[in-house]
């Protein structure tokens, strides 16, 4: 922990909130640039919409969503149309402010006219989403699942899923939404931060009771009722892979901007929290992705009125300790050099204060899984070791102008088998056809020109059209400019928080829209994903030919 700054390079940097340090030239950082922005409610909904346009069946695990205020007229019109065609459809919608968390500002409505169009909706955009009315209930209660996913690398894509997660329960018996119960948050919202304030909240002292349980305990129960748990897991794995495939194009744009290729820089990894709801028929539905999932393994207990104490939470500990431990095992830079499966921390960690708690939790149960009651003591020892041993060692070495100590005392332990299961590239073949927008993003990045930007200027767009030979007598360069201006102006007027909101250029989503437009124009009768795939192939082919020609000219 370096509360006053860091002077030595590290192998692993453990940042508390986001990737924010552009002075890192090697090692690994536990955050991707732009992840926070990419998983915000609006950005996630847009990315999912793009994928739903291309592959509607594959992406039907994400509820139909509209972005407010800009899509309010579309929302009203589509709901009216659906109601007209199916008069028995009595939907409920959930309105969620962008950038909100812990259920903040969320409310349910029965009709589009119930949207609270106060001044705040203009200043605070939101997503309105179809409400899943028939969730799976356990003990008559609604619950959701928090699953931890490790994005170990973006290029090549490497994804791991934790074998166990958390199930977070509501605290009032569930009833399908009616005008009377719409406001009952303890019945409809599963957020821990809300339900903890209900008198019915039960802190679990084991992993299969109370208001927060392990997901594996729910699976056991479902399996004993005869449910096909294997199929459920396989659906969850596809949901996770497909969601990450939807996010990677935007992440790649941020990545090249913060860590330009060819220059020294770190690699990144990140633990994400996936919030998933199970429908009555066991179909998993994605609610949201969290870039900064809480790694707390304690909860507050009120000893006497107004007096609180932090006490260990066995359920959180069971799940989260394994996630952090295995993340460190997977990214351990020494791992490549060793063949044995034991872990030694020959690794210098740069930790922000808020994350120390989580980290020594990880260390704590590493040593001795069976003797859990030792883990707090051990945790304190390791905290001491981390703070006074390793870190002071580094500082002293640095002050003395020496190389850092080669190896801190090793924490050699026979570790339990990995709780993180690799799902990509393991199942890559099954999903590779979905990675079309990734290839569109690769074209976008190629024409961005000056490194360090995330928006394409008009000249870059023209060069893209020219190099791919997409303009012709039916589509003049003047029409190209009009397309650029139209789409770019609309995207920039939406006023979404973007890294370069002052830059008038074309962001990735705007380029994707323009690309889809061009594809539809060129290959009229095909389904959209085939139109887009054909245009990508044409562009890649023409750019490869151009490169070949340039090489020949270069040699000549």
**CB 48 to ligand ADP: min, Å:** 12
What letter would DSSP give residue 552? H
Nearer to ligand ADP, 192 or 254 (CB): 192
Residues 6+ apart with CB under 8 A from 532: 54, 436, 440, 515, 516, 519
Of the candidates 25, 104, 354, 490, which one interacts with ligand ADP according to CB under 6 A? Answer: 104
Site string for ligand ADP, 62-81 (x = CB under 6 A): -x------------------
Nearer to ligand ADP, 294 or 422 (CB): 294
Q: Which residue has the tokens 């020959």?
A: 346
Site string for ligand ADP, 17-56 (x = CB under 6 A): ----------------------------------------
Nearer to ligand ADP, 191 or 204 (CB): 191
Residue 106 near ligand ADP by CB under 6 A? yes
Residue 516 to residues 242, 444, 532, 533, 551: CA-CA distances in angstroms?
20, 13, 6, 10, 31
Residue 131 near ligand ADP by CB under 6 A? yes
Closest to 317 (Cα-Cα) out of 270, 368, 279:
368
Residue 258 near ligand ADP by CB under 6 A? no
Instruction: Report the distance separating Cα 439 and Cα 40, nearest Å.
Output: 23
**CB 548 to ligand ADP: min, Å:** 49
Residue 176 near ligand ADP by CB under 6 A? no
Residue 284 near ligand ADP by CB under 6 A? no
Residue 98 near ligand ADP by CB under 6 A? no
Binding-site size for ligand ADP (CB under 6 A) equals: 20
Of the candidates 101, 418, 442, 485, which one interacts with ligand ADP according to CB under 6 A? Answer: 101
Counting beta carbons within 10 angstroms of the beta carbon of residue 42, is it exposed (0 to 12), middle (13 to 18) or buried (19 or more)?
Answer: buried
Spatial contact of 499 and 251, defined as CB atoms under 8 Å apart? no
Nearer to ligand ADP, 15 or 96 (CB): 96
Residues 6+ apart with CB under 8 A from 287: 144, 275, 276, 277
Nearer to ligand ADP, 129 or 292 (CB): 129
Instruction: Report the distance separating Cα 318 and Cα 480, nearest Å.
Output: 56
Residue 287 near ligand ADP by CB under 6 A? yes
**CB 507 to ligand ADP: min, Å:** 24
Q: What residue spans of 117-261 are helical by DSSP H? A: 119-123, 185-188, 192-195, 215-224, 229-258
Which residue stretch of 32-40, 93-101, 195-203, 464-472 sits at the interface with ligand ADP (rule: CB under 6 A)? 93-101
Closest to 320 (Cα-Cα) out of 162, 211, 143:
162
Closest to 324 (Cα-Cα) out of 364, 383, 267, 368:
364
Of the candidates 71, 144, 258, 326, which one interacts with ligand ADP according to CB under 6 A? Answer: 144
Of the candidates 1, 52, 167, 191, which one interacts with ligand ADP according to CB under 6 A? Answer: 191
Instruction: Report the distance separating Cα 420 and Cα 418, nearest Å.
Output: 5
According to DSSP, the residues that pair with 394 across neighbouring strands are none
Spatial contact of 283 and 134, defined as CB atoms under 8 Å apart? no
Closest to 457 (Cα-Cα) out of 439, 438, 481:
481
Closest to 527 (Cα-Cα) out of 51, 49, 50, 55:
55
Of the candidates 158, 275, 326, 513, which one interacts with ligand ADP according to CB under 6 A? Answer: 275
Residue 171 near ligand ADP by CB under 6 A? no
Of the candidates 35, 42, 94, 159, which one interacts with ligand ADP according to CB under 6 A? Answer: 94
**CB 187 to ligand ADP: min, Å:** 10
Which residue stretch of 26-34, 127-135, 506-514, 522-530 sits at the interface with ligand ADP (rule: CB under 6 A)? 127-135
Residues interacting with ligand ADP, by CB under 6 A? 63, 94, 96, 100-104, 106, 129, 131-132, 144, 189-191, 275, 277, 287-288
């Amino acid at each position: 922990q370096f509360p006053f700054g860091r002077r030595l390079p590290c192998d692993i940097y453990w940042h508390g909130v986001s990737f924010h340090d552009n002075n890192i030239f090697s090692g690994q950082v536990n955050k991707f640039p732009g992840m926070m922005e990419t998983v915000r409610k609006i950005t996630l909904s847009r990315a999912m919409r793009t994928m739903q346009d291309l592959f509607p069946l594959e992406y039907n695990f994400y509820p139909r969503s509209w972005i407010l205020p800009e899509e309010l007229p579309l929302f009203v019109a589509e709901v009216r149309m659906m109601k007209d065609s199916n008069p028995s459809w009595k939907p409920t919608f959930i309105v969620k402010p962008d950038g909100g968390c812990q259920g903040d500002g969320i409310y349910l409505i029965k009709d589009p006219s119930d949207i609270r169009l106060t001044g705040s909706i203009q200043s605070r955009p939101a997503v309105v989403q179809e409400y899943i009315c028939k969730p799976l209930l356990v003990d008559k209660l609604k619950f959701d699942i928090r699953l931890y996913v490790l994005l170990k690398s973006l290029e090549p894509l490497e994804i791991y899923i934790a074998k166990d997660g958390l199930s977070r329960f509501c605290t009032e018996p569930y009833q399908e939404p009616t005008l009377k119960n719409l406001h009952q948050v303890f019945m409809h919202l599963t957020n821990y931060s809300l339900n903890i304030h209900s008198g019915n909240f039960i802190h679990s002292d084991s992993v299969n009771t109370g208001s927060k349980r392990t997901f594996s305990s729910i699976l056991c129960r479902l399996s004993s009722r005869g449910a096909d748990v294997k199929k459920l897991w396989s659906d969850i794995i596809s949901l996770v892979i497909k969601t990450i495939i939807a996010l990677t194009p935007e992440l790649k744009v941020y990545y090249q901007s913060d860590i330009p290729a060819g220059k020294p820089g770190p690699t990144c990894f990140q633990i994400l929290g996936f919030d998933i709801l199970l429908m009555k028929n066991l179909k998993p539905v994605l609610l949201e992705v969290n870039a900064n999932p809480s790694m707390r393994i304690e909860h507050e207990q009120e000893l006497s009125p107004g007096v609180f104490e932090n006490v260990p939470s066995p359920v959180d500990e069971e799940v989260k300790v394994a996630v952090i431990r295995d993340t460190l095992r997977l990214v351990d830079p020494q791992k490549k050099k060793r063949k044995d499966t034991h872990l030694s921390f020959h690794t210098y960690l740069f930790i922000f204060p808020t994350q120390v708690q989580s980290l020594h939790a990880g260390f704590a149960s590493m040593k001795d899984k069976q003797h859990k009651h030792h883990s707090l003591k051990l945790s304190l020892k390791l905290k001491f070791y981390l703070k006074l041993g390793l870190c002071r060692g580094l500082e002293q070495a640095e002050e003395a102008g020496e190389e850092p100590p080669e190896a801190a005392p090793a924490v050699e332990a026979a570790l339990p088998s990995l709780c993180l299961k690799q799902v990509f590239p393991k199942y890559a073949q099954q999903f590779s056809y979905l990675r079309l927008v990734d290839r569109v993003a690769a074209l976008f990045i190629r024409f961005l020109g000056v490194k360090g930007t995330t928006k394409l200027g008009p000249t870059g767009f023209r060069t893209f059209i020219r190099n791919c030979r997409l303009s012709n007598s039916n589509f003049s360069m003047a029409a190209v400019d009009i397309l650029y201006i139209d789409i770019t102006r609309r995207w920039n007027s939406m006023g979404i928080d973007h890294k370069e909101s002052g830059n008038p250029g074309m962001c990735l989503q705007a380029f994707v829209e323009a690309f889809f437009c061009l594809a539809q124009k060129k290959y009229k009768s095909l389904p959209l994903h085939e139109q887009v795939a054909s245009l990508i192939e044409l562009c890649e082919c023409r750019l490869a030919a151009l490169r070949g020609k340039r090489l020949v000219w270069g040699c000549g």
